[in-house]
Amino acid sequence: MPKLTIDGVEVEVEPGITVLQACETAGVEIPRFCYHERLSIAGNCRMCLVEMEKSPKPIASCAMPVAEGMVIRTDSEMAVKARRGVMEFLLINHPLDCPICDQGGECDLQDQALFYGFDRTRFEEAKRSVKEKDFGPLIQTFMTRCIHCTRCVRFATEIAGVEELGLTGRGEDVEIGTYIEKALVSELSGNMIDLCPVGALTSKPYAFTARSWELTKTESIDALDAVGSAIRVDSRGGEVMRVLPRLNEAVNEEWISDKTRFAYDGLRRQRLDRPYVRRDGKLEEASWDQAFAAIAGQLEDAPGRRIAAIAGDLADCESMLALKDLMAALGSVHTDCRQDGARIEAGERAGYIFNTTIAGIERADACLLIGTDPRFEAPLINARLRKRYLAGGFSVGFVGPEVDLTYRAEPLGAGPKTLGEIAAGEHPFAAVLDDAAHPMLIVGQGALARPDGARVLATARRIAEETGMIGDGWNGFNVLHLAAARVGGLDIGFVPGEGGLDVAAILEAAGSGGLDAVYLLGADEIDMAALADTFVIYQGHHGDAGAEAADVILPGAAYTEKDATYVNTEGRAQHGRLAVFPPGEAREDWKIIRALSGVLGRTLPYDDIGALRARMIEVNRIFAAPDEARPAEWGAFGTPGPMDPAPFAYPLENFYMTDPITRASMTMAECTALARSANKDKTGTDG
Amino acid sequence: MSGPTNPPANGADEAGPFAFTKANLALADEIIGRYPEDREASAVMGLLDLAQRQNDGWLPPPAVAYVAEYLHMPQIRVYEVVTFYSMFNLKPVGRNQVRVCTTTPCWLRGSAAVLDACRETLGIDLNETTEDGEFTLTEVECLGACVNAPMIQINDDYFEDLDGARTKALLDLLKKGDKPKPGSQTGRQCSAPLKGFATMISSAKTKGTEGD
Ligand code: SF4
Ligand code: FES
Ligand code: FES
């Protein structure tokens, strides 16, 4: 391990790291613009200059590997003068518009100018100005502010996998842009806003709405897909102003998808902010008491077997457990959280989680995708797969329709037929998996949410077992979920009890008058028409399909408005936190159910969230270890048997609109329109 | 220095589709063959040059796209190269491309007068093309011939040791359709000193080279 001296202190560091990283381990911060630890090294901004003994010139510390005996000075006159010089050059063409720039207050250039900037200018020529570029509906560009660090170019090329951005021209004419003027389409594009060290790329929806220092910052968890990305919700005066990623190496590293970042305007639109009761066919505003009374009236004489509950994709664990307990108290076993009809059982946990874990993908060396397009179903998982792919020695094959995953993946076949061949070892890809030290597979809802899903699941299990995916310290079997509620629902056991009805059966029973009431906990993605005249209680936060079909509406809280637990696809239980209060009379969901239980005379035994969480742990130990992805024991799951030869279809029709929040978002609507037109140009695949 | 212009928004152009001629296809593969097998992108400059020569000295978007596809490169990567080097043109140019070096050594030796002579003789300003399509005038950075500064490059040839009058004479010849002789325009041999040798004139008298 090389030893070097940094500002007079001797340090020993890992070989192969750069001087900048060595300085960091020594606790010395080096200013930088172009360097980013998750991107390739460009070494083009020169802000990181330091003095190195025996070098006549200052060196770019971000691009210089450490060597034994180096003597580095970061605070010498030479180093400081060099940085001052670089800063003066950078500011030659950078506009002085900080007061009207959205980056103001969180701008690297502004911060560094405080230490190394010159308060006058010696540059008397005209400053250059650059035409704005079209980065789509999400990113506002002010290209005159660009300092050409190329972080955005490297992000697009390396992480997002869309090689469309570049640095064109030379010298003073250098510009960031696309070749043919067209909007950049990537499901991860918003991350470039965070990466841009200046205000050249800023958020379009957030433009001029707030200053960073007036925002209240709440650390939370995203609920718009099953990845459970770590987010920070920035709010002001009871409104969510923006959503940013937080660092979580195990899950999202420091990225989030555009849906996670930009759907927040949907939180303000079409909200249910007071209870409603249907009278004479029309939904009318009501008080909580009236709404509860209407429900009590309906349920009074209803036997448990004629009541059912369905939990939607955004439901949190607390409210699902409360509802399940309430249903049990009412004598009903008809509960289900699998809106899409996925044939997954709640029994064997290894059979419904992403066992490899997201970070574990980096250890895999072959991957089989079954009926899943992770690029849009879980963009951060796809980013991890791409990262693994770029590291080399990773073969990916997929069973399903053609997809563009941003990395090379071999099309193996369209559906169960191919899957059967792989399981039987008759397909060449079976050998690829066999030969891999750490093979993995990901089975998606496109393969499981079909009538033969349990058989597909069994086949996938067989592949996992036959190709050595299950072994010591390695589990390569993974289910990729789409809904933040799903794994939690299965962990809670929000599935039909002994003799209970599943979603399809509930709908069928409701359609034929077999049920007196159906309780929809934020369930909006089922066929409402099938409920026919059944009494529908809808508890949720948006006026979406479920509210429309409801007889009583109980206004709940969206994921940014409650302290709630979600379990991501890896089986990692995480706590989301209340950033703003639910609007109007809306309340946190478990509290609504708890209050209703009292009205129904079946008071649930928890008075605060602590007691409810204790009950959750009682139901499933995994809730005792939040933030952890505990390995699940391997067991038998799925139902062996012949599969339907019909090819798999990917479940997401539109990545940008998957739930009541994103469907209410104008930003997501714009993205949808853009993706559609881009797809038309492309002969197309997914979007 | 003049900036490159962006291609038209739709990527298409009056230039129509582009493909290498048979002869150029062979050349292209020869150029690619000069690089290791998985490094075909290294041939990008060679292929762009080939495409430009085939297309009257400029690269329409279809040609850039063609080269990108030929080398399995994203178009933006090729476009970055095209816009970086002043030798690649993204707009039609005259038959004679007059590139005047105005970098410090040439400037110190009178490139301003050379540039003025070009403007005057051709009747065009920088980045313009004469109406008859014969000449395009551009300004470039150091072309590496500073010893014989000031200099200009016309197509593949360097013309050195210029001043206003010599530049005019040179361009007049070209206008008539004659072929002026490349190299120094004062008759200097290569880059030999103008007034005879000035250094290393005494014979070397160091040990080991005695009797030289
Ligand atoms: S736009 Fe921002 S991230 Fe991109 S090169 Fe310019 S300064 Fe860097
Ligand atoms: S951070 Fe080192 S050159 Fe930019
Ligand atoms: S400065 Fe003109 S050729 Fe070098």
Judgement on whether residues B79 and B101 belong to the same structural domain of the protein: no
What is the predicted pLDDT for the residue at A421? 96
Mean pLDDT of A57-80: 96
pLDDT in tens, B39-92: 999 999 999 999 999 999 999 999 999 999 999 999 999 999 999 998 999 999
Tell if the CB–CB gap between B74 and A181 is shorter than 8 Å: no
Measured in Å, residue A68 CA sits from the centre of ligand 2 at 22
What is the predicted pLDDT for the residue at A137? 86
Chain B residue nearest residue A178, CA to CA: B76
Please report the beta strands in A282-352, taking only residues with DSSP state E, as ranges in sequence order.
Answer: 282-285, 307-311, 334-336
Tokens coding A205: 């929806």
- Local structure of residue B204 (DSSP, 8 states): P
What is the predicted pLDDT for the residue at A678? 77
Find chain B residues with C-beta within 8 A of A169's C-beta: 3-4, 83-84
Q: Assess whether pLDDT exceeds 90 at residue B3.
A: no
pLDDT confidence band for B15 (50 / 70 / 90)? low
Instruction: Determine the residue among A154, A164, A180, A681 to mutate to test chain B binding: the one whose Cβ has the most chain B Cβ atoms within 10 Å.
Output: A180
With both helix axes pointing from N to C terminus, report the angle between B164-176 and B111-122 in degrees, rounded to the nearest 10. Answer: 30
Judgement on whether residues B74 and B113 belong to the same structural domain of the protein: no
Tell if the CB–CB gap between B4 and A173 is shorter than 8 Å: yes
**Which own/partner contact pairs does A447-450 have at CB distance under 8 Å and 24+ positions apart?**
A447/A370, A447/A371, A447/A372, A447/A399, A447/A400, A447/A419, A447/A648, A448/A342, A448/A343, A448/A344, A448/A371, A448/A479, A449/A338, A449/A340, A449/A341, A449/A342, A449/A343, A449/A651, A450/A341, A450/A343, A450/A644, A450/A646, A450/A648
Judgement on whether residues B149 and B108 belong to the same structural domain of the protein: yes
pLDDT confidence band for B208 (50 / 70 / 90)? low
| Residue A311: closest CA among A525, A529, A565 | A525
Place of tokens 């499981």: A448
Cβ pair A521, A323 in contact under 8 A: yes
Tokens coding A523: 């369930």
Tokens coding B196: 């005879």
pLDDT confidence band for A199 (50 / 70 / 90)? very high
What number is the ipTM of this complex? 0.86
Judgement on whether residues B40 and B80 belong to the same structural domain of the protein: yes
pLDDT in tens, A225-260: 999 999 999 999 999 999 999 999 999 999 999 999
Lowest mean pLDDT among A64-73, A126-135, A572-581, A635-644: A126-135
Q: Assess whether pLDDT exceeds 70 at residue A536.
A: yes
Q: Is residue B198 part of a domain?
A: no
Which residues in A621-632 are b (16+ Cβ under 10 Å) and which e? Answer: ebbeeeeebbeb
pLDDT in tens, A75-95: 999 999 999 999 999 999 999
Q: Quick one: which ligand is closest to B147's CA?
A: 3
Judgement on whether residues B107 and B173 belong to the same structural domain of the protein: yes
Judgement on whether residues B79 and B103 belong to the same structural domain of the protein: no
Judgement on whether residues B110 and B80 belong to the same structural domain of the protein: no
Place of tokens 């205000």: A199
Q: Considering the entire predicted model, what is its pTM? A: 0.92
Q: Assess whether pLDDT exceeds 60 at residue A337.
A: yes
pLDDT in tens, B169-179: 999 999 999 99
Sign of CA dihedral A45, A47, A48, A50: positive
CATH of the domain at B111: 3.40.30.10
How many structural domains are present in chain B?
2
What is the predicted pLDDT for the residue at A328? 97
Q: Is residue B192 part of a domain?
A: no
Q: Is residue B205 part of a domain?
A: no
Mean pLDDT of A367-375: 97
What is the predicted pLDDT for the residue at A684? 43
What residues are in contact with ligand 1 under a 6 Å CB criterion? A 146-152, 176, 195-198, 200-201
Q: Is residue B137 part of a domain?
A: yes
pLDDT in tens, B137-158: 999 999 999 999 999 999 999 9
What percent of chain A is modeled with pLDDT above 90? Answer: 93
Tell if the CB–CB gap between B1 and A168 is shorter than 8 Å: no
Q: Assess whether pLDDT exceeds 50 at residue B212.
A: no
Q: Assess whether pLDDT exceeds 60 at residue B207.
A: no
Judgement on whether residues B157 and B115 belong to the same structural domain of the protein: yes
Mean pLDDT of A450-463: 96
Q: Is residue B124 part of a domain?
A: yes
What is the predicted pLDDT for the residue at B205? 61
Judgement on whether residues B116 and B155 belong to the same structural domain of the protein: yes
What is the predicted pLDDT for the residue at A315? 98
Chain B residue nearest residue A183, CA to CA: B9
Collect all residues from B whose CB is shorter than 8 A from any CB in A: 1-4, 6-7, 9-11, 61, 64, 74-77, 79-80, 83-85
**Is the minimum CB–CB distance between A134 and chain B shorter than 8 Å?**
no
Judgement on whether residues B117 and B156 belong to the same structural domain of the protein: yes
What is the predicted pLDDT for the residue at B204? 63
Residue A477 CB partners (closer than 8 Å, separation 6+)? A350, A351, A355, A356, A440, A441, A460, A461, A464, A469, A470
What is the predicted pLDDT for the residue at A340? 95
**Is the minimum CB–CB distance between A172 and chain B shorter than 8 Å?**
yes
Mean pLDDT of A215-224: 98
Mean pLDDT of A601-630: 96
Q: Is residue B139 part of a domain?
A: yes
Measured in Å, residue A15 CA sits from the centre of ligand 2 at 20
Q: Is residue B67 part of a domain?
A: yes
pLDDT confidence band for B189 (50 / 70 / 90)? confident
Tokens coding A560: 């940014």
Tell if the CB–CB gap between B76 and A178 is shorter than 8 Å: yes
**pLDDT averaged over chain A?**
95
Q: Assess whether pLDDT exceeds 60 at residue A457.
A: yes
Instruction: Determine the residue among A168, A172, A185 to mutate to test chain B binding: the one whose Cβ has the most chain B Cβ atoms within 10 Å.
Output: A168
Lowest mean pLDDT among A490-504, A561-575, B177-191: B177-191
pLDDT in tens, A98-153: 999 999 999 999 999 999 998 888 999 999 999 998 888 899 999 999 999 999 99
Rounded CA-CA distance A195/A157 in Å is 14
Mean pLDDT of A294-314: 96
Residue B50's region, left for phi above 0, alpha for psi from -120 to 50, else beta, is alpha
What is the predicted pLDDT for the residue at A184? 76
Q: What is the best residue among A130, A148, A168, A195 to mutate for testing ligand 1's pocket, by most ligand atoms within 8 Å of CB?
A: A148
Q: Of B52, B84, B116, which closes a domain?
A: B84
* Atom number of ligand 2 nearest to Cα A62: 2
What is the predicted pLDDT for the residue at B206? 57
Tell if the CB–CB gap between B74 and A170 is shorter than 8 Å: no
Judgement on whether residues B71 and B115 belong to the same structural domain of the protein: no
Q: Is residue B186 part of a domain?
A: no
* Atom number of ligand 1 nearest to Cα A147: 7
Place of tokens 């004419």: A173
CATH of the domain at B66: 1.10.10
- Local structure of residue B182 (DSSP, 8 states): P
Judgement on whether residues B106 and B147 belong to the same structural domain of the protein: yes
3-state SS of A470-494? EECCEECEEECCCCCCHHHHHHHCC
What is the residue range of B53's domain? 22-84
Find chain A residues with C-beta within 8 A of B77's C-beta: 163, 166
What is the predicted pLDDT for the residue at B210? 46
Place of tokens 């093309």: B129
pLDDT in tens, A152-180: 999 999 999 999 899 999 988 999 988 87
CA angle A415, A418, A421 (to 5 degrees): 150
What is the predicted pLDDT for the residue at B16? 77
Torsion of CA A192, A195, A200, A202, to 10 degrees: 60
Partnered with residue A140 across adjacent β-strands are A202
pLDDT in tens, B122-134: 999 999 999 999 9
